[in-house]
Amino acid sequence: MPIPAARRTTATRRWRWNEHKLAALVLVTPALLIIVGLRIVPLVLGAQYSLTGDGDRNGLFVGLANYRTLAADPVFRTAIKNVGLLFLALPIAVAVPGLLATFLFLKVPGHRFYRSVYFFPVVLSPVIIGAIFNILLSFDGPLNQLLGKAGIPPVDWLGNSHIAILSVIGVHIWATFGMALVIFMAGFSTLDQSLLDAARCDGATLPQTVLHVVIPELSRTIQFVFVTTMIGMLTGMFGLVYVMTAGGPGGATYLPEFYIWVTQGQLNSPALASAASMVLFVLMLVVGFAQIRLIKRATKEV
Amino acid sequence: MRERGIGRWIVAIPMCLLALATIYPMLFTLNVAMKSRREYVLNRFSLADHLTAANIADAWNTTGLGRYTFNSVLVTAGSVALLLLLGSMAGYAFSQLTFRGRKWLFLVCLGALMIPFQVIMVPFFRVLGQIHLLDTYLGLILAYTGQFLPFTIFLMTSFYSRIPAEIVEAARVDGSTTLGVYRRIMLPLGRPALLSVGILNALFCWNDVLISLLVMQSEQHRTLMVGVTALRGQYSDNIPLFAGGVLVAALPVIAIYLFFQRQITDGVTAGSTKG
C-alpha cells in the first residue's frame, strides 16, 4: 500500500511547513510593524511634507519652494557650512584613535587601563558631556583662569561666533574617539599575526610595518570607522549643541539636525523642517554609501 | 608583536596625558559638586574643603530630579524590555528559520538603520499626535523601540546565527515546536547577547535628549537628561548645585560602565567586525 503512506508523509510535511511558516510570521510581524510604521512610513510622509507649504498654505503642494527657502536661509547655510567643518575634522577624529589603537595593540604598559579610560566618555550622554564643558569653558571658568595664569588672555570659547563651533566639534571628538578606538582594536584582533612576524623577520621598522602591513590589512575597518564617525557627527551632536550653545551665538553653531528641531518646534514650520530633513538624509546616504556595501555583505550570511 | 625598549615609554607619555585629559573634566566636576558656592567663586581648582554631598542632595530635593529619574527609569525599562522581546524574536526567525521573503524583510530592517531620527522627526511627531500618544510614557517607549529596534535585530540575528543548527534540529526531533525552540533554546542560550544588547539599549534610552524633548511636552513627564538641561538655565549662578545635578544624572551610567564594561565594548564592536 505505497500510495497512502506517501500521502501521509506529504500531509505531515505540509503541516510542519505550515506550523513553521506561522511561527516565522508570529516572530517577525511585530518587529516589522514597528519598523515600517515608525520609521519607513514617516520617512515617506516626510518626503511628501517637504513638498507642501507651512502656515496658511498647510497641506498645499508647493513643489520645491521649501528647498529654495532653505537655500536662501542664512541660518541653514551656516548649518551646511558647519557640516563642511565636520568633514575637515573627520581625519583628526579617525587618525587619533587609529594611532592610539596601534599603540594599545603593541601592548604599551597599562593598555587595558587606557582602553577603559578612553572609552568612558562614549557611554555618557551628550547632555552630561555638554554640561561638564559648559562649566569648564565658560568665560569666567577654569580653563580661562588657567590661561590667565599662563599670561594668555581669556578666550570666549562658547560666546565667540568663530570659536564656538570649533569648541563644540572639539568636545564631540573628545567624547567619541573611544568608540573608534575600540572598533580599531577589534579590527587589530583579526589581524593575521604571521604577517607581522614575517615583516619583523624581514627587518621592517615599526612605521614600515604600519604602512605596508597594518593599514592595507585593516582597510575595511578604517573605511567602517570613517563612515560611522561621520554619521555620528551628522546625527549625534544635537545634545551637545543644545546644551553648550543652543545654536548661538547668532546661529553660528547650527547643524542640520538642530535646524530641523528649531524649525519644527519653535518656528512651527514643519514643512520647511521636513525639507531640511531630506537634505540631511541625502547627506547621510552619500556618507552611508560605504555602509550599504557593508550591510550587503552582512545579509549574505543570513 | 610587542615593541620593546625605549619606544614603549615614549608612547606612554602622550597616552598618559590623553588619559588625564579624558578623565580630568569629570574629576573636576565631581570636585565642584562637593564645594560650596563661595569656595567655587574664590578658587576654581582648590580641592573641596570637606567632602559633602550637600549639593547633590540639594539638586535632588529642590529641582524635581527625583521625578525625572522616575520617568527615565520607567521609560528605559519599558523600552529595553520591548526591544529585547521583539529583537530576539525577529533575530531567531532571521537566523534560524527559512521562510519566503526572509532576505528582503531582513534588508528592510537593516535599511531602517540608515534612517536617523532627525530625518523622520516631523512626521513622527504628527503620527504620534494623531494616535494620541504624544506626552505619554507609551509614546516615548514606542519611539525608542522604533529607533533602536533595527540595531537590536541586527545584533541578535548575528548572535543567533552562531548557535549550531544541530541544537535546533535535536529539539525538533524531540518534538519541540518552532516557538518552543525560541522559548527553550534561543532565550536561555541567548542570555549573554541579551544582556549585552539590553545594556547598550538602556544606555541609548537613558542618554537620549532629542526624542524625549520632542515626545514629552509637559514638565511632569520630563526625562532626566531634559531635566538636567533645564537646570542649566535655573542655576547658572550656582555652578556647584548644577554640577551636583549633572552627577546625579551621570551616576547610574558610571555604575553600569564599571560593572559591564566588557559587555558594552563587545556590543558596540559586534556590529563592526561583522561587516
Residues A82-108 pLDDT 10s: 999 999 999 999 999 998 998 888 777
Residues B20, B73 within the same domain: no
- Give the confidence band of B1 by pLDDT, cuts at 50, 70, 90: very low
Range of the domain at B153: 60-270
Determine, yes or no, domain membership for A56.
Answer: no
Which of A120, A186, A196 is nearest residue B22 as measured by Cβ atoms? A120
Residues B214, B107 within the same domain: yes
Residue among A40, A43, A38, A50 at smallest CA distance from A274: A50
- Mean pLDDT of all residues in B131-154: 96
Which residues in chain B are closer than 8 Å to A268, comparing Cβ atoms? none
Which residues in chain A are closer than 8 Å to B2, comparing Cβ atoms? 106-107
**Is 90 exceeded by the pLDDT of residue A111?**
no
Residues in contact with B108: Cβ distance below 8 Å, sequence separation at least 6, in sequence order: A32, A35, A36, A40
How far is the first Cα of chain B from the last one, in angstroms, to the nearest whole number?
A: 25
Residues B89, B183 within the same domain: yes
Angle at A71 between CA A66 and CA A72, to 5 degrees: 100
Residues B29, B66 within the same domain: no
Q: What whole-number percentage of chain A has pLDDT above 90? A: 52
Determine, yes or no, domain membership for B206.
Answer: yes
Q: What is the pLDDT of residue A212?
A: 84
Determine, yes or no, domain membership for A129.
Answer: yes
Determine, yes or no, domain membership for A257.
Answer: no
Question: What's the mean per-residue pLDDT of chain A?
Answer: 87
Determine, yes or no, domain membership for A48.
Answer: no
* Higher pLDDT, residue A199 or A252: A252
Determine, yes or no, domain membership for B47.
Answer: no
Q: What is the pLDDT of residue B202?
A: 96
Q: What is the pLDDT of residue A209?
A: 81
Q: What is the pLDDT of residue A5?
A: 44
Residues B113, B164 within the same domain: yes
Which residues in chain B are closer than 8 Å to A255, comparing Cβ atoms? none
Which of A146, A186, A264 is nearest residue B121 as measured by Cβ atoms? A264
Q: What is the pLDDT of residue A294?
A: 65
Which residues in chain A are closer than 8 Å to B265, comparing Cβ atoms? 115, 119, 182
- Give the confidence band of B275 by pLDDT, cuts at 50, 70, 90: very low
Determine, yes or no, domain membership for A19.
Answer: no
How many residues in chain A?
Answer: 302
CB B199 within 8 A of CB B260: yes
CA atoms in the 13 A half-sphere facing the CB of B128: 28
Domain CATH code at residue A218: 1.10.3720.10
> What is the C-alpha separation between A59 and A48, in angstroms, rounded?
10
Number of domains chain A contains: 1
Helix A74-105 vs helix A270-300: angle between axes, to the nearest 10 degrees? 30
CA distance A263 to chain B (A): 10
Which of A106, A131, A242 is nearest residue B246 as measured by Cβ atoms? A131
Best B37, B118, B140, B225 residue to mutate vs chain A (most A CBs within 10 Å): B118
Domain CATH code at residue B252: 1.10.3720.10
Range of the domain at A112: 80-249
Of A48-52, A103-107, A144-148, A270-274, minimum mean pLDDT range: A103-107
Residue A35 to residue B149, Cβ atoms within 8 A: yes
Which of A41, A117, A235 is nearest residue B118 as measured by Cβ atoms? A235
**Is 70 exceeded by the pLDDT of residue A299?**
no
- Mean pLDDT of all residues in A8-24: 65
Q: What is the pLDDT of residue A116?
A: 92
Which residues in chain B are closer than 8 Å to A132, comparing Cβ atoms? 25-26, 28-29, 246
Determine, yes or no, domain membership for A165.
Answer: yes
**Is 80 exceeded by the pLDDT of residue A30?**
yes
Residue B178 to residue A121, Cβ atoms within 8 A: no
> What is the C-alpha separation between A269 and A53, in angstroms, rounded?
9
Residues B20, B101 within the same domain: no
Of A27-31, A216-220, B216-220, minimum mean pLDDT range: A216-220
Number of domains chain B contains: 2
Q: What is the pLDDT of residue A292?
A: 64
Determine, yes or no, domain membership for A25.
Answer: no
**Is 80 exceeded by the pLDDT of residue A180?**
yes
Determine, yes or no, domain membership for B275.
Answer: no
| Cis peptide bond N-terminal to A256, omega within 30 | no
Q: What is the pLDDT of residue B152?
A: 96
Residues B27, B65 within the same domain: no
CA distance A75 to chain B (A): 17
Which residues in chain A are closer than 8 Å to B15, comparing Cβ atoms? 100, 103, 108, 114
